[in-house]
Structure 1
Amino acid sequence: MSDLLIKFLSNTGYALVTYRNLIMIFIGLFFIYLAIAKKCEPLLLVPIGFGILLGNIPVFKGFGLGLYEDGSVLHFLYFGVTTGMYPSLVFLGLGAMTDFSSLLARPVLMLLGAAAQIGIFFTLLGALFFGFDPKEAASIAIIGGADGPTSIFLTARLAPHLIGSVAIAAYSYMALIPVIQPPIMKLLTTHKERLISMGVLREISQKEKIIFPIVAFLLCCFIAPAALPLLGMLFFGNLLKECTVTERLANTARNAIIDIATILLGVIVGASTQGDRFLTQQSLGIFLLGAIAFSIATASGIIFAKIMNLFMKQKINPLLGAAGVSAVPGSAREAHLLALKEDHTNFLLMHAIACNSSGVIGSAIAAGVLWSFFN
């Protein structure tokens, strides 16, 4: 009887646990705390945080329980991450939720979304300098786009062993936008620049809204065909929203589909961060380079807006450059709130959303370019 008891105890998680598992469980609990107590991106951090707990319960090898074991339930769910299925479904829902009217009303703001992607290519060079191979470097660099699904999609294609580290870094920095971006925005802009008013945007016709996703899809995917799975779904979802005859499908895409995809993506990405695979020197390097990428992307958008003002009669508030990253709607909200602190009548939100939505497109194109180049 005592032998059976000893054998039972030796098979429990208490006997199998390592300090790496305990560290990751603490990180998972911290993510859940941030989401619930501080309301930092709860729709992302609650699934990821619980997924980290799920992935760090020690199990016997060969029982078909672990995420990296063939035949396990978690391994089958992980298939949606490694194939890019979940990120594509998220983009479908995102397209059905996005209103591109402000971008159509002021197309020049699209340049700020493009400028913010400079952070991706600077970080690519940095990752190569620190010894990462080209595919790993490209996967790390895409964190600068501040788009979790895009980061996961590209990493699954180029460096699947880095999915956990890249995804956690990308989503962490998205959640920390209120901490990271405002100091950079204040540092790179003057009080006078932050007071610049953008005026009222023109009214966009329904015909323009319907034509845009079709034309934008063709233009963007001819430029970067490898971005087809992401941009195809983004613009298809937007067409469902704007054409007015598929409202039922649009509602499903922006509610049920994106919610299911977000839950599965968050939980499974979190579960992929098993302590023995995640807590490495390489992961620390990824977090450092990810922070650099996100900071450079924010600064690039702001600096480019200031350069544009040298040639434009109607000046652009440089704070909008920070919204050029793909973190929807977090970065747009921060640009708007900072402008309001300077002048409570200066509403930048719709202009910032224009930059934000162009950042989504820009990061997907950048991912497609990197995939086609390094594949």
Structure 2
Amino acid sequence: MQGFLDAVTGIASESGFMGIFQNPGYLIMIIIACVLLYLAIVKQFEPLLLLPIAFGMLLANLPFGDIIHMEFFLTESGHPDFVSVLNEGGLADMLYLGVKLGIYPPLIFLGIGTMTDFGPLISNPKSLLLGAAAQLGIFTTYIGAKFLGFTGPEAASIGIIGGADGPTAIFVTSQLAPHLLGAIAVAAYSYMALVPIIQPPIMKALTTKKERQVVMKQLRTVSKTEKILFPIICTIIICLILPTAVPLVGMLMLGNLMKESGVVDRINKTAGNELMNIITIFLGVSVGCTTSADTFFNLQTAYIIALGLLAFCFGTAGGVLLGRVMCWVTKGQVNPLIGSAGVSAVPMAARVSQKVGQKENPQNFLLMHAMGPNVAGVIGSAVAAGILINMLKGCI
């Protein structure tokens, strides 16, 4: 009988319930993970990545599960301890190598490229300026984060949330501040999912009713030759000026060239479907596994969540304000609402521009006009990432 009681006591002391009793933070993180799962499944907020991230968060906060060993990656040298990962690591450790080594985000960009139509941007090159203006949130938040005491690499990783591009945020953070990856990834994808809620109040506050009612002329038709030349020329120009942008911009343009050339239909479909789906699972689960209660619950995380929202709001505002300037310069030919699509949440931000504009004027069809700044924002966030990495890589 005593042996049975000892066995029961031993199981109880080593169970996850005892871990939750010792650190109630695990229970709070499990609840947060369940809320995110609810948003992904029921509300369908960015479900493709929010669901695996949330489930990874759930796994990471089941006490004594040891799903991932971040000490193998957060070493003094800044490089992963490959020997420990290979000898002692589990599945999540292996998957996280793709994040730490910067493999997953460029492959996600490859898939995005196969699904992106740069036609609206080529048809209206001025929309590139709106995509650039929407990166205002990245650099203003970088300055704000440094003011709050974050290091340069940490501030850059927080600021990149303003680009509203999850893979870019993960890429920059994995290079500059991997210890912040969990909080930044959750913030980035949460705000991307909340685009339809966050953006409309800002758009309305910064524009007049008359400006929101502006009807834009139909875009010209873009030739196949232009669509083929665009990714080639973009890659050469951007990557010669900013070599650190090669992984993201290069893969984005390669995917788009595969789509527009029409000569590699088989691998184009693989990159945009099977490969992207596999990488999305690996990326989401491994990033979610970094959000343990041991490292997530602190004042730093609260600052990251708040600064991420600020970055996103400033990015939206930057695009809208430049849209107003363009509206004034063109004497009412540009609807400033399309500036909000300069953040790279494709195509959700463009749909929000369309929805807000049509509510003001039923004759307004802004979707294709907004897609120009929207895809420009994808390029802009990748360029901003390259600039930040180039500036701060040596500071680590």
Q: TM-score range by the shorter chain?
A: over 0.9
Tell me, in whole angstroms, the C-alpha distance in 2 between the residues paired with 1:228 and 1:162: 24
- Matching residue of 2:50: 45
- Matching residue of 2:316: 298
Report 1:51-66 matches (<5 A).
51-59=56-64, 65-66=67-68
- Matching residue of 1:96: 114
Report 1:27-38 matches (<5 A).
27-38=32-43
CA contact (8 A) 1:67 1:271 kept: no
Report 1:157-172 matches (<5 A).
157-172=175-190
One-letter code aligned to 1:86: Y
Deviations 1:322-358 (A, max 9, x none): 0000111111111111111112221111111111100
Asked if 1:19 is matched to 2:24, the reply is yes
TM-score by length of 1: 0.97
% of aligned pairs identical? 51
Tell me, in whole angstroms, the C-alpha distance in 2 between the residues paired with 1:73 and 1:34: 26
Tell me, in whole angstroms, the C-alpha distance in 1 between the residues paired with 2:99 and 2:262: 32
Could you say what secondary structure the match of 1:259 adopts?
helix
> 1:4, CA displacement in angstroms?
2.0
> 1:261, CA displacement in angstroms?
1.3
Contiguous gaps of at least 5 residues in structure 2: 73-84
Question: Are residues 4 and 363 of structure 1, via their aligned partners in 2, closer, same or farther at CA, if it must alter by over 3 Å?
Answer: same
CA contact (8 A) 1:323 1:355 kept: yes
Asked if 1:237 is matched to 2:255, the reply is yes
- Matching residue of 2:307: 289
Could you say what secondary structure the match of 2:219 adopts?
coil
> 1:135, CA displacement in angstroms?
0.8
One-letter code aligned to 2:16: G
> 1:312, CA displacement in angstroms?
2.1
Deviations 1:44-96 (A, max 9, x none): 221111111111111166xxx43426422211111111111111111000000
Asked if 1:308 is matched to 2:313, the reply is no
CA contact (8 A) 1:67 1:73 kept: no
Report 1:341-356 matches (<5 A).
341-356=359-374
> 1:29, CA displacement in angstroms?
0.6
Q: 1:148 aligns with which of 145, 166, 169?
A: 166
Tell me, in whole angstroms, the C-alpha distance in 2 between the residues paired with 1:26 and 1:237: 38
Deviations 1:104-136 (A, max 9, x none): 111111100000001111111100100001110
Deviations 1:290-329 (A, max 9, x none): 1110000000100011112232256211101100001111
Report 1:355-374 matches (<5 A).
355-374=373-392
Could you say what secondary structure the match of 1:107 adopts?
coil
> 1:223, CA displacement in angstroms?
2.1
CA contact (8 A) 2:68 2:289 kept: no
Deviates more, 1:304-313 or 1:46-55: 304-313
One-letter code aligned to 1:198: M
Contiguous gaps of at least 5 residues in structure 1: none
Tell me, in whole angstroms, the C-alpha distance in 1 between the residues paired with 2:64 and 2:216: 57
Count of aligned residue pairs for this structure pair: 372
Kindly report the root-mean-square deviation, in angstroms, between the aligned alpha carbons of the 2 structures. 1.2
> 1:38, CA displacement in angstroms?
1.5
One-letter code aligned to 1:372: N
